[in-house]
Structure formats: C-alpha cells, structure tokens
Amino acid sequence: MRALPIILIAVLSPLLMGAAAHQGVGRGPTAHIDDLIAEVGRERELVLVFPQDAEATHFEDTWGDGRSGDRRHKGSDLMAPKSTPVYAVADGVVSIMRKSGLAGYWIGLEHAGGVESWYMHLNNDEPGTDNGRASLDQVYAPGIEVGSFVAAGQLIGYVGDSGNAEYSGSHTHFELRVDGRAIDPYPLLIDAHRRALEVARLDRLAPLVGRID
Ligand SMILES: [Zn+2]
C-alpha cells in the first residue's frame, strides 16, 4: 500500500507538468492581431507595410478620441512634414480618389479579404507654401488612378494638410476597414513602424558592411 502515493504521483506528474507548460505559453507579440481577427469574426492575416516614410513619421494611439460634431476618431494620425511619401499598406486596387470637406484629398485601396485602407488629408499645396493650389501630381503619385493595381509599399501620394487638417499640422489620417467597418489600426501600425525602422537602419549599415568586405 505504501507504493500507492508514488504510483499516483508518477501517473499524475506528466499531466500536471503539461498543465503548467500550457499556462506558461503566452500569446506573444501577435496577440493584438489575434484580437483583431476575433473582432472581425474570421481568420485573416493582417500584416501591414508602414504607410509612410517611417523615420519622418510619429503617431499616437488616438482611436476612439472625440472629434468635432460628436464623431469618434476611427483611425491613426501619422504626423509628418508635407510631401512625405505615402505608401500602400498591402497589395490592392485603387478604389477611391476623392476630395471632400473634412478629408481633403484622399485615396482608398481595396485589398483581399474585404480589407480596405484609406489615406486622408493628402497634400494640397505647392512646395514650400500653404496656398492650397497643388497640381494633382503633387497630391497623388504618378500613374495612380481609380482601378490601378498597387503593390505593398508602392508610393501612392504625399502627406499634406488638406481638408480639416489645415489647422492641426500635416498628417495622414489612416483608416483600416474590414467588411466596411473601421477597426483600430494602431497595434498593426506600431508593428509595421518597428519593422520599417529596422529596415531603414539596415539600409544605412549596408554601405559600411560593403567596405568591411
Ligand atoms: Zn485622424
């Protein structure tokens, strides 16, 4: 009978260890992506290319903040100097090119899986001015038209202060939509920004490495 507790421990310990191991497994850095996917109710891979020159851009989490007229902020504001390049976050097709009162000049892309990305307040000024008289090639990149295919990371336009950004500093209001509903892009942008900064750093190192060889 004395052997019984030992046998019990021998039988139970792999189970206990298994349970402990499971508890130790965190959800890792992709947890926010899992949350977003859960939010939209189906499996989707959402990994973005950062939509602007990363070193020239700063941004904060302003999702849901109050805006004029009882609106809520449905995106991230990517602050950067006028004419900073704006890039497509993923492969897609240009679906919207429009000018409106609040958004100013803006562009929308359609991606796979019901995902859309919107980029608002593009440049509306001639270089070095605030005159609102930009030509269209100072708003959008060459060859960008409704129906154009764009690759992830492709230049699509330039940062500006058109629409109601006129008094808040030049930036891109970036919005990410799934099945027509805006989702919080901030966690995905943080991840994309970190990767883009790392690439920029490696690009700067590349000439030095060449010299060492
Ligand atoms: Zn905004």
How many whole angstroms from 207 Cα to the centroid of ligand 1? 38
What global pTM score does this model have?
Answer: 0.78
Tell me the torsion sign for CA atoms 127, 80, 169, 191: positive
How many whole angstroms from 174 Cα to the centroid of ligand 1? 7
How many whole angstroms from 149 Cα to the centroid of ligand 1? 25
Give the Cα separation of 75 and 120 in Å (integer): 10
Place of tokens 């796979």: 112
How many whole angstroms from 54 Cα to the centroid of ligand 1? 17
CATH architecture of 48-205: Distorted Sandwich (2.70)
How many whole angstroms from 76 Cα to the centroid of ligand 1? 6
Place of tokens 């440049």: 123
How many whole angstroms from 51 Cα to the centroid of ligand 1? 14
pLDDT by residue, tens only, the chain of 213 residues:
444 444 444 444 444 444 433 333 444 445 565 565 555 544 456 899 999 999 999 999 999 999 888 899 999 999 999 999 999 999 999 999 999 999 999 999 999 989 999 999 999 999 999 999 999 999 999 999 999 999 999 999 999 999 999 888 999 999 999 999 999 999 999 999 999 999 999 988 888 776 665
* Helical spans, DSSP H, in the chain: 3-24, 31-40, 186-212
How many whole angstroms from 75 Cα to the centroid of ligand 1? 6
Say how many residues make up the chain.
Answer: 213
Which pLDDT score is estimated for 21?
38
How many whole angstroms from 19 Cα to the centroid of ligand 1? 45
Domain range list for the chain: 3-39, 48-205
Give the Cα separation of 144 and 55 in Å (integer): 24
How many whole angstroms from 79 Cα to the centroid of ligand 1? 10
How many whole angstroms from 171 Cα to the centroid of ligand 1? 8
